[in-house]
């Protein structure tokens, strides 16, 4: 028998008052970050928060209010505050609040998307959202897809589907003979090399195409493919990137698509970052040619500003996804052989899975695709504005013109001209700036040089915050050069 006390505790936690404890935490986080109250990264300089939570497993429970207080004190207080307009770090959004609140509905219902009988409305919502996304990608009837944990999984799934086409019995027998090659740009995300490793192809069988302007030089692709043909190597897929991780720039999908069509090669588009531009009449042209892809990875949890996790894999022919996972599971999947299964689990890497599609659906219901496009365009416009501001400042130089919401630039500390020293100073400047609590940015290496990198994914960020960024970096830079050696 369940002890009365425990039953009462579970019942009490189901009430509106209990839920309000957590709603209050979130609303107050939104309110404080909105008012720009407090540092962007409260743990700056004390990144390792593990000691805070290093304690014995609780033997007995606490009142929910005490637990909520601990969440505030021991979790929220030490977390990076992405909702702060000065957070300009990695490609993770300050999520749209309507989607944040939806999370509790998804969790409360806990209908798993593995099979339709477990999640009738979840399956319907996911199918609908996927249909909308396929429509924007220019995929017609027969297309389909499924939500994923993110771009990494989506690209893995796409390459699994390409492997099934390359060698239809690979699922059972593994790759026979010399493994096929995957071709991608030199700045492509590590998802591709990782998939090559995971799929048993070997990372040495990823060949890269040189870049032009930090994206694949499409004119160099035929040469790479010719070289592989001369070596008698077969190509399993060419991966184009729509929204490069480092710079947010877009490969020429039309040119790459034409080359792939001519040679009968599978084109996968890693649009994890950039495919959301399809929502935007202003930016959709960046993805011209995407309809030629066999598969597309697209993360709504990036430029559609949704909370993690909401990724998606789209296939021009949905049957390619079923072929990727040749799985029988009579205890779960009940579809008839030869007919389309309504169970999304047959097309997914995952089994039990949240109805994350609901977040995408709610965001679309709340803002419409035009609203999401305007939010998307705002973040891209900020990057353009920052580029202009940098052009007007003596101590900064931009590495590229932004094609989306990402910009890489370098701090030039006046009287230092030695490039390796400037590299080191940029690295230290980022650390110092982030530790100051003024803001939060990232850095990367481009063309062998250390650069600062900003990703704008908060619709509450405005021009004045970009000025504050450059002022903050200038101030921290001045202090940095004064630091004792
Ligand atoms: C181009 C690209 N592909 C794939 C990924 C991986 O996406 P996720 O982190 O959602 O798995 C990223 C992440 O930044 C990315 O920029």
Q: Are 468 and 438 in contact (CB under 8 A)?
A: yes
Q: What predicted TM-score, i.e. pTM, was given to this entire model?
A: 0.97
What pLDDT digit, counting tens, does each position of 429-482 carry? Answer: 999 999 999 999 999 999 999 999 999 999 999 999 999 999 999 999 999 998
Q: Which is the closest atom of ligand 1 to the Cα of 152?
A: 11
Q: Is the peptide bond before 177 cis (omega within 30 degrees of 0)?
A: no
Q: Cα of 336 to ligand 1 centre, how many Å? A: 35
Residue owning the nearest CA to atom 10 of ligand 1:
150
What pLDDT digit, counting tens, does each position of 170-208 carry? Answer: 999 999 999 999 999 999 999 999 999 999 999 999 999
Residue owning the nearest CA to atom 16 of ligand 1:
245
Q: Cα of 155 to ligand 1 centre, how many Å? A: 9
Per the DSSP assignment, residues forming a β-bridge with 296 are 269, 314
CA dihedral (203, 205, 209, 214) in degrees, to 10, reads -10
Residues in contact with 216: Cβ distance below 8 Å, sequence separation at least 6, in sequence order: 184, 185, 186, 187, 188, 209, 240, 241, 251, 252, 256
How would residue 295 be classed by pLDDT, with cut points 50, 70 and 90? very high
End-to-end CA distance of the chain: 68
User: How high does pLDDT run on average in the chain?
Assistant: 96
Residues of the chain with CATH 3.90.1150.170: 12-94+369-485
Q: Which is the closest atom of ligand 1 to the Cα of 154?
A: 11
Q: What is the mean pLDDT of residues 161-174?
A: 95
Strands (DSSP E) contained in 22-126 are none
Query: Does 441 or 53 have the greater pLDDT score?
Result: 441
Q: Which two tokens stand for residue 472?
A: 């903050």
Could you give the CA distance from residue 455 to residue 379 in angstroms, rounded to a whole number? Answer: 9
Q: Is the pLDDT of residue 329 over 80?
A: no
Q: Are 138 and 284 in contact (CB under 8 A)?
A: no
Q: What is the mean pLDDT of residues 121-136?
A: 98
Q: Are 152 and 191 in contact (CB under 8 A)?
A: yes
Q: Cα of 245 to ligand 1 centre, how many Å? A: 7
Residues of the chain with CATH 3.40.640.10: 111-353
CATH code of 12-94+369-485, in short, is 3.90.1150.170
CATH class assigned to 111-353: alpha beta
Angle at 112 between CA 106 and CA 114, to 5 degrees: 145
Q: What is the mean pLDDT of residues 26-31?
A: 98
Q: Cα of 315 to ligand 1 centre, how many Å? A: 18
Q: Which is the closest atom of ligand 1 to the Cα of 299?
A: 10
Q: Which is the closest atom of ligand 1 to the Cα of 309?
A: 10
Q: Cα of 63 to ligand 1 centre, how many Å? A: 39
Could you give the CA distance from residue 304 to residue 367 in angstroms, rounded to a whole number? Answer: 11
Closest by CA position to 158, among listed 355, 351, 352, 348? 348
Q: Is the pLDDT of residue 210 over 90?
A: yes
Could you give the CA distance from residue 353 to residue 366 in angstroms, rounded to a whole number? Answer: 24
Percent of the chain with pLDDT over 70: 99
145: left (phi over 0), alpha (psi -120 to 50) or beta: left
Please give the biggest Cα pair distance in the chain. Answer: 76
Provide the pLDDT for residue 52. Answer: 86
Q: Is the pLDDT of residue 44 over 70?
A: no
Q: Is the pLDDT of residue 414 over 90?
A: no
Q: Are 182 and 237 in contact (CB under 8 A)?
A: yes
Q: Cα of 271 to ligand 1 centre, how many Å? A: 9
Q: What does residue 327 show for φ and ψ, rounded to 5 degrees? A: -110, 135
List the 442-446 sheet strands across, edge first: 396-398, 406-411, 449-455, 442-446
Closest by CA position to 247, among listed 286, 298, 206, 202? 286
Probe target for ligand 1 pocket from 299, 305, 356, 442, with the most ligand atoms within 8 Å of CB: 299
Q: What one-character-per-residue DSSP string does 305-319 give?
A: -PPS--EEEEESSTH
Q: Is the pLDDT of residue 306 over 70?
A: yes
Could you give the CA distance from residue 55 to residue 420 in angstroms, rounded to a whole number? Answer: 44
Separation in Å, CA 289 to CA 36, 68, 70, 105, 278: 42, 49, 50, 37, 12
Q: Are 151 and 289 in contact (CB under 8 A)?
A: no
Q: Cα of 481 to ligand 1 centre, how many Å? A: 35
How would residue 42 be classed by pLDDT, with cut points 50, 70 and 90? confident
What pLDDT digit, counting tens, does each position of 211-222 carry? Answer: 999 999 999 999
Provide the pLDDT for residue 334. Answer: 73
How would residue 159 be classed by pLDDT, with cut points 50, 70 and 90? very high
Provide the pLDDT for residue 305. Answer: 98
Provide the pLDDT for residue 132. Answer: 98
Residues in contact with 136: Cβ distance below 8 Å, sequence separation at least 6, in sequence order: 278, 279, 284
Q: Cα of 457 to ligand 1 centre, how many Å? A: 14
Which run of H or E residues covers position 360? helix 357-391
Could you give the CA distance from residue 119 to residue 347 in angstroms, rounded to a whole number? Answer: 15
Could you give the CA distance from residue 47 to residue 43 in angstroms, rounded to a whole number? Answer: 6
Provide the pLDDT for residue 327. Answer: 73
Q: Is the pLDDT of residue 113 over 70?
A: yes
Helix, strand, coil share (%) of the chain residues, nearest 5: 50, 15, 40
Probe target for ligand 1 pocket from 90, 147, 150, with the most ligand atoms within 8 Å of CB: 150
Q: What does residue 454 show for φ and ψ, rounded to 5 degrees? A: -120, 135
Provide the pLDDT for residue 45. Answer: 66
Q: Cα of 13 to ligand 1 centre, how many Å? A: 37
Q: Cα of 95 to ligand 1 centre, how many Å? A: 17
Q: Is the pLDDT of residue 247 over 90?
A: yes
Q: What is the mean pLDDT of residues 223-246?
A: 98
Length of the chain: 485
* Residues at CB less than 6 angstroms from ligand 1: 91, 150-152, 189, 191, 241, 243, 245, 270, 272-273, 299, 311
Would you give the distance in Å from CA 394 to the centre of its chain?
33
Probe target for ligand 1 pocket from 185, 189, 300, 455, with the most ligand atoms within 8 Å of CB: 189
Probe target for ligand 1 pocket from 191, 269, 306, with the most ligand atoms within 8 Å of CB: 191
Residue owning the nearest CA to atom 7 of ligand 1:
151
Q: Cα of 152 to ligand 1 centre, how many Å? A: 6
């Amino acid at each position: 028998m369940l002890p009365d006390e425990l039953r009462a505790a579970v019942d009490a936690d189901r009430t509106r008052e209990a839920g309000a404890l957590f709603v209050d935490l979130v609303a107050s986080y939104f309110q404080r970050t909105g008012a720009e109250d407090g540092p962007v990264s409260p743990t700056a300089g004390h990144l390792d928060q593990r000691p805070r939570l290093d304690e014995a497993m609780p033997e007995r429970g606490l009142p929910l209010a005490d637990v909520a207080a601990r969440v505030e004190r021991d979790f929220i207080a030490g977390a990076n505050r992405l909702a702060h307009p000065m957070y300009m770090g990695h490609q993770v959004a300050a999520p749209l609040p309507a989607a944040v609140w939806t999370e509790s509905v998804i969790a409360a219902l806990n209908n798993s998307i593995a099979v339709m009988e477990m999640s009738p409305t979840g399956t319907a919502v996911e199918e609908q959202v996927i249909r909308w996304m396929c429509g924007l990608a220019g995929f017609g009837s027969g297309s389909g897809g499924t939500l994923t944990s993110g771009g990494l999984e989506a690209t893995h799934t796409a390459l699994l589907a390409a492997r099934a086409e390359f060698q239809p019995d690979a699922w059972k027998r593994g790759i026979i003979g010399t493994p096929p090659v995957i071709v991608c740009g030199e700045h492509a995300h590590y998802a591709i090399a990782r998939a090559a490793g995971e799929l048993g192809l070997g990372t040495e069988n990823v060949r890269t195409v040189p870049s032009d302007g930090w994206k694949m030089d499409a004119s160099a692709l035929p040469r790479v493919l010719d070289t592989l043909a001369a070596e008698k190597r077969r190509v399993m897929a060419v991966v184009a990137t729509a929204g490069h991780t480092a710079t947010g720039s877009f490969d020429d999908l039309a040119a790459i698509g034409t080359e792939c069509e001519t040679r009968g090669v599978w084109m996968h588009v890693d649009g994890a970052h950039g495919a959301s531009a399809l929502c935007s009449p202003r930016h959709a042209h960046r993805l011209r040619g995407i309809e030629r892809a066999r598969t597309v990875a697209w993360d709504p949890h990036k430029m559609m500003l949704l909370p993690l996790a909401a990724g998606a894999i789209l296939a021009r022919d949905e049957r390619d996804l079923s072929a990727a996972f040749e799985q029988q599971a009579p205890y779960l999947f009940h579809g008839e052989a030869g007919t389309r299964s309504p169970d999304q689990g047959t097309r997914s890497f995952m089994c039990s899975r949240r109805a994350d599609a609901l977040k995408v659906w709610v965001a679309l219901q709340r803002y419409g695709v035009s609203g999401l496009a305007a939010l998307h365009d705002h973040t891209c416009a900020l990057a353009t504005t920052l580029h202009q501001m940098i052009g007007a400042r003596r101590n900064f130089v931009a590495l590229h013109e932004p094609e989306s919401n990402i910009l890489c630039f370098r701090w030039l500390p006046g009287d230092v001209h030695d490039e390796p020293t400037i590299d080191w100073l940029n690295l230290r400047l980022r650390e110092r700036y982030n530790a100051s609590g003024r803001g939060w940015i990232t850095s990367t290496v481009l063309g062998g040089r250390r650069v600062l990198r900003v990703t704008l994914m908060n619709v509450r960020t405005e021009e004045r915050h970009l000025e504050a960024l450059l002022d903050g970096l200038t101030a921290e830079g001045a202090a940095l050069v004064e630091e004792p050696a």
